[in-house]
Amino acid sequence: MLATSLILVLLFTGCARFSPTSRSSEDLILPDSYTLYDANQTSPARWWTEFNSNELNELVDESISGNFSIQQAMARMDQAMAIARQNRSTLFPTIDYGVDAELRSTHRDEGFSASSRMQTLNTESYGLGIASSYEVDLWKRLHANRQSANLNLEATKEDLYAVMHSIAGQVSLTWLDLLEVHQLIAVTQAQLKANQTTLDLMELRFRKGRASALDVFQQRQVIARTESILPPLFAQKKVLVHELNLLSGKAPDHKRVFNALTYPTLDALPAYGVPMDLLANRPDIRASGLRLQSADWQVSAARTDRLPFLRITSGFSFNGDDVDVLFDNWIATLSSSVTGPIFDAGRRKAEVQRTRAVVDERLNAYRQTVLIALTDVENSLTRTVHQEEYIESLTKQFNAAKQTYTEAQNRYQKGLNDYLPVLTALTNSQNLERDVIAAEHDLLALRVGLHLALGGTWMESSLTAESKEH
């Protein structure tokens, strides 16, 4: 009677739960807007499409479906999904069965004479048992573990999205690197051809006594220096193709044709909203926040682990000496037990303290992730604006260098100066031409970096579309 009363009390008081307290973003250091804010801009969901390149679109799609880092992240998500199912199963009863059979031989002497025989008796017995066990989730401990596992699953999914977002960025940046190499090769070959033409004319002038041998040697040095630029560029071109194949899950020697040879034209900066949007758009922030919530539920589970447990068990057992009468002899049992800790040397209390420390760690990790994301966006915006100014100044410098070279060449042909000013102006002009190409590449790379910093929600739809295809 006392046990029954105790169970009823536990059942009625079991409605209480140790749920974690809700959190808000009030304690995060988030400004109302970015330093360079423009609310009128728009951007596509799949941000790399703003480069208007079918080649890049195909590369990104191929990498999302074939990249092995993404496949590993998907496998980790499947593991988390299995763990979530395991925790979900604890809310339901378990049913087990057992079957046993026994053959017993008994040897008995029928008499005391020398001619007596040993008699052997064989006895068969069979048994079948079915047992069920169920833990009543009085304090919602099992519920807390389930919530924690579900949140970890969602966090692992966000990790997958973060990998997809990163791979799209790596493909875009590598593709831009390849465009830069293509343009540098084309410009350098054009410069080499122009330098060779100048050398031919100079050698003709030398034969006519209108140029010195020093002028010829200096021009030959310019050609040799220009030629030395090409081998590293050709090597880099092959390396970048290998990297794109690797990102797509292909062998390095996979045959691939690249038709894009010039930089795409960019529109205005994408819509980057307000800093608060990062909490929803950055997969790494979403994953960090979900793991923080999971840790909160682990604290609840650890606290309830110090309270009594109520377990209900039932079973049926069947026994018989013959299979035909096995189910004629059966026993049914139903029992309940309440157990709780009395002394564990502080183990459960220490577990509560540990889980609370985990919460503190993940809370600060979440805050740091938000600040890093905010800094990434601010840095990308600042660098983009100043890179545009740099390109404008560099272009002016390049145009001035071309004019300087033209004037120096005219004065040299008229005999007003020697070849050194021409050589200096030529070298400066060709170097600046390559610098402009590199600076324009850096601006495009900064645009990719801005998109990576802003995050996005395109990954879920891409993953769903890929799943339907397979």
Q: Is residue 291 part of a domain?
A: yes
| Residue 2, pLDDT score | 39
Indicate if 152 and 275 belong to the same structural domain: yes
Indicate if 256 and 379 belong to the same structural domain: yes
d(CA 391, CA 433): 11
Name the pTM for this structure: 0.84
Give the residue numbers spanning the domain of 320: 93-136+308-340
| Residue 12, pLDDT score | 44
Indicate if 435 and 459 belong to the same structural domain: yes
Q: Is residue 5 part of a domain?
A: no
Taking a C-beta distance cutoff of 8 angstroms, is the pair 34, 275 a contact?
yes
**Residue at a domain's end among 340, 363, 397:** 340
Question: What secondary structure letter does DSSP report for 173?
Answer: H
| Residue 14, pLDDT score | 46
Indicate if 331 and 448 belong to the same structural domain: no
pLDDT tens figures, 295-310: 999 998 888 888 888 8
Q: Is residue 298 part of a domain?
A: yes
In the sheet where 94-109 sits, what is the strand order? 94-109, 118-136, 309-320, 330-339
Alpha helices in 67-140 (DSSP H): 68-89
The structure tokens listed for 29 are: 């250091």
Alpha helices in 248-308 (DSSP H): 278-281, 283-304
Indicate if 120 and 147 belong to the same structural domain: no
CATH of the domain at 151: 1.20.1600.10
Indicate if 166 and 277 belong to the same structural domain: yes
What count of Cα atoms within 13 Å lies in the side-chain half-sphere of residue 382? 8
CATH of the domain at 333: 2.20.200
Indicate if 102 and 80 belong to the same structural domain: no
How many residues does the structure list for the chain? 470
Q: Is residue 455 part of a domain?
A: yes
For the chain, which ranges sit under pLDDT 50?
1-16, 37-40
| Residue 320, pLDDT score | 65
Indicate if 193 and 212 belong to the same structural domain: yes
Indicate if 236 and 256 belong to the same structural domain: yes
| Residue 89, pLDDT score | 87
Number of domain units in the chain: 2
**Residue at a domain's end among 289, 317, 340:** 340
Q: How many Cβ atoms are within 10 Å of 215's Cβ, its own excluded?
A: 21
Q: Is residue 4 part of a domain?
A: no
Indicate if 314 and 373 belong to the same structural domain: no
Indicate if 67 and 112 belong to the same structural domain: no
Please, what's the largest Cα pairwise distance for the chain?
A: 146
pLDDT tens figures, 308-359: 888 888 877 777 666 666 566 667 777 877 888 888 788 889 989 999 999 9
Indicate if 101 and 148 belong to the same structural domain: no
Q: Is residue 2 part of a domain?
A: no
Nearest to 292 by CA among 350, 180, 370, 205: 370
Q: Is residue 285 part of a domain?
A: yes
**Residue at a domain's end among 340, 364, 396:** 340
Q: Is residue 42 part of a domain?
A: yes
pLDDT tens figures, 371-410: 999 999 999 999 999 999 999 999 999 999 999 999 999 9
